[in-house]
Chains A and B, each alone.
Chain A
Amino acid sequence: MSASGKLQTANCKRRMGTAFFLVMLIVLLAGCATPIRNSQFAIRNFDTGIDPEAWAQIPAGTFHFGQHDEMVTIAAPYEMMVTDVTNAQYARYLNAALAGGAVKVDGDSVVGYYPGDVFHGHKHEVEITAGDWLHVPLTDPSLRLMFDGTIFGVKPGYESHPMTVVTWFGAKAYCEFSGGRLPSEAEWERAARGDDERPFPWGDEIALNNANFYASRDPFEAAAGKQGDTTPAGFYNGKTYDGYRTLDSASPYGLYDMAGNVWQWVSDLTEGIHDRPLKGGSKGVYGYNLRIWTRNAARPDYTSPSVGFRCAR
Chain B
Amino acid sequence: MKALTDRFNYLFRSTKGLILVAIALIAIVTAAFGMLSGPLKEWGISDVAIRLYGMKLVEAEREARIILLYHTIAMSVVAIETYLITALVRMKPQQQANINATITVGYITSLVFGLAFGYFGRNFVFHGLFITGQALVFFAGLQLAVALWPWRKAYHVADPAYAHTRGGVDLERVAFFTMAVVMLISAIFGAVPGSLYGQGHETFLAEEIVRVPFKAPLQLAVIGHLHIMLELIAVALTLIVGRWFDFKGKLHKWAMPLMIVGTLIVAGGVWAVVPFEPIAHMIINIGSFPTLIASALLVWFGWRKIAAARLAERGIEKAGFGRWLGALLHDPVKFGMLWQMVYMNAVVTAVGIFMAIRLDEAIRTWSLRDEQVGLTGHWHILSGIIATIILLLYADMAGLKGRARQWFGWVVIIASDVAFAAVTLFETKRLYVSEAGQQPLVDISMIISDAGLATVLVAVAALMVWRLIDLFRRNGRWAKEAKETNLEDGGAEAGR
Chain A contact residues, CB within 8 Å of chain B: 4, 8, 12, 15, 18-19, 22, 25-26, 29-30, 32-37, 39, 67-68, 122-126, 141-142, 197, 199-200, 204-206, 214-215, 225-227, 263, 270-273, 275, 278, 284-286, 288-289, 291, 295-299, 302, 304-307
Nearest opposing residue in chain A for B446, CB measure: A33
Please indicate the chain A residues that have their CB under 8 angstroms from the CB of B442 in the complex. 226-227
Bound Cα distance from A4 to B214, whole angstroms = 67
The answer to whether B314 touches A4, judged by C-beta atoms less than 8 angstroms apart, is yes
A271-B214, A299-B365, A302-B365 given; name 8 further pairs at CB < 8 Å.
A22-B415, A35-B440, A67-B204, A204-B59, A214-B42, A226-B439, A263-B367, A286-B41
Q: Are B367 and A302 in contact (CB under 8 A)?
A: yes
Residue of A nearest to B440 (CB): A36
Interchain CB contact under 8 A, A30 and B448: yes
Q: Which of B212, B369, B410, B440 contacts A37 (CB 8 A)?
A: B440
Interface 9-mer from B141-149, B430-438, B477-485: B430-438
Which residues from B are CB-within-8-Å of A197?
60
Of all chain B residues, the one with the shortest Cβ separation from A205 is B59
B62 lies within 8 A of chain A by Cβ: yes
Q: Which residues of B contact A (CB under 8 A)?
A: 41-42, 59-60, 62-63, 200-202, 204, 208, 211-214, 278, 314, 326, 359-360, 364-369, 406-407, 410-411, 414-415, 418, 434-440, 442-444, 447-448, 451-452
**Other-chain residue from B41, B201, B451 in contact with A68 (beta carbon distance below 8 A):** B201
Closest A residue to B200 using CB positions: A68
Q: List 5 A-B contacts (CB under 8 A).
A: A32-B447, A226-B442, A288-B62, A296-B367, A298-B366
In this complex, what residue of A is CB-closest to B213?
A272
Cβ–Cβ < 8 Å partners of A18 in chain B = 406-407, 410
CB distance from A64 to the nearest CB of B (A): 10
Assembly CA distance A68 to B202 (angstroms): 6
Q: Which residues of A contact B360 (CB under 8 A)?
A: 124, 126
Contact A305 B410 (CB under 8 A): no
Residues of A contacting B200 with CB < 8 Å? 68
Task: Check B326 against A124 for contact (C-beta < 8 Å).
Answer: no
B42–A226 CB distance below 8 A: yes
Interface contact A305-B436, CB-CB below 8 Å: yes
Q: How far apart sit A227 and B410, CA to CA, in the bound complex (Å)?
A: 35
Give the residue of B365, B414, B444 whose beta carbon is less than 8 angstroms from that of A22.
Answer: B414
Q: Is the CB of A15 within 8 A of B410?
A: yes
Question: Given that A33-B447, A34-B440 are contacting pairs, would A278 and B60 also be in contact in the complex, using a CB cutoff of 8 Å?
Answer: no
| A225, B443: Cα distance in complex, Å | 10
Q: Which of B202, B414, B440 contacts A33 (CB 8 A)?
A: B440
A8-B326, A26-B451, A296-B368 known; A142 vs B435 contact (CB < 8 Å): yes
Residue of chain A at shortest CB distance from B316 = A4
Q: Is the CB of A29 within 8 A of B414?
A: no
Q: In the complex, how many angstroms separate the beta carbon of A107 from the nearest chain B beta carbon?
A: 19
Assembly CA distance A124 to B315 (angstroms): 60
Among A30, A126, A204, chain B packs the most CB atoms within 10 A around the CB of: A30
* Pick from A33, A215, A273, A278: contact of B367, CB under 8 Å: A278
B447 contacts A30, C-beta separation under 8 Å: yes
> Which A residues are CB-close (under 8 A) to B208?
295
Query: What chain A residues lie within 8 Å of B62 (beta carbons)?
Result: 288
Beta-carbon contact of B41 and A306 below 8 Å: no
Q: Which residue of A lies closest to B323 (CB)?
A: A8
Pairwise interchain contact A29-B451, C-beta atoms closer than 8 A? yes
Residues B213 and A273 in contact, CB atoms below 8 Å apart: yes
Bound CA span A295–B371, Å: 13
Are A34 and B435 in contact, with the CB atoms below 8 A?
A: no
Question: B202 touching A285 by the CB < 8 A rule?
Answer: no
Residues of A within 8 A of B443 (CB): 33-34, 225-226
Contacts of B414 in A (CB 8 A): 19, 22
**Least Cβ distance of B283 to chain A in Å?**
15
A199, closest chain B residue (CB)? B59
Closest B residue to A18 using CB positions: B410
The one of B359, B407, B435 in contact with A124, judged by C-beta atoms closer than 8 angstroms, is: B359
Which residue of chain A is the closest to B202 with respect to CB atoms? A68
- Chain A residue, CB-CB nearest to B450: A29
- Check A199/B60 contact, CB under 8 A, given A126-B364, A226-B443, A270-B211: yes
With A68-B201, A304-B435 known as contacts, the answer to whether A123 contacts B447 (CB < 8 A) is no
CB pair A297 B367 closer than 8 Å: yes
Whether A275 touches B452, Cβ cut-off 8 Å, given contacts A15-B406, A30-B444, is no
A residues near B42, Cβ cutoff 8 Å: 214-215, 226
Residues of chain A within 8 A of B415, CB atoms compared = 22
Interchain CA distance A69-B411 in the complex, whole Å: 48
User: Which of chain B's residues have a CB closer than 8 A to the CB of A225?
Assistant: 439, 443
Question: Smallest distance from the beta carbon of B199 to chain A beta carbons, Å?
Answer: 12
Task: Say whether B410 contacts A299, CB under 8 Å.
Answer: no
Tell me whether A298 and B60 are in contact (CB under 8 A): no
Check A33 against B444 for contact (C-beta < 8 Å). yes
Q: How distant is the Cα of A25 from the Cα of B41 in the complex, in angstroms?
A: 23
A226 to B146, CA, bound (A): 55
Residues of chain B within 8 A of A289, CB atoms compared? 369
